[in-house]
Amino acid sequence: QVQLVESGGGLVQAGGSLRLSCAASGDTICISAMGWYRQAPGKERELVAAITSGGSTYYADSVKGRFTISRDNAKNTVYLQMNSLKPEDTAVYYCNAESYCSGSLRDYWGQGTQVTVSS
């Protein structure tokens, strides 16, 4: 089992910055990749950014050049630095961990943190 606790959401004006954190605990040795998803009202959840245990990263086109995902393996924490925020970035952001242990692949989710960008 893996537990994820997010922090860092809030209200910011357009053009501002926020940093989200996601601390993992439990069977963290099994985590192969971590990422951030978001879900805006009336829309499907979408992948924003992801990082593997080896440090490879992925970004959605809508956030490239503005968001940066990083990972501190010693602290079992993943961060999402969000700069130049836009109103369309407003959503609930969820941390995700992909775990592969004993031949089983599982996804774990945090509780979500609200990010609101005002125009």
Contact indicator for 29, 39 with CB cutoff of 8 Å: no
Read off the tokens for 45.
């959840």
Confidence at residue 73, expressed as pLDDT on a 0 to 100 scale = 87
Give the mean pLDDT of the chain.
95
- Please tell me whether residue 88 adopts helix, strand or coil conformation: helix
Read off the tokens for 81.
């630095």
More confident site: 90 or 54: 90
pLDDT in tens, 62-84: 999 999 999 998 899 999 999 99
pLDDT in tens, 4-50: 999 999 999 999 999 999 999 998 989 999 999 999 999 999 999 99
37/65 Cα distance (integer angstroms) = 17
pLDDT in tens, 25-37: 998 989 999 999 9
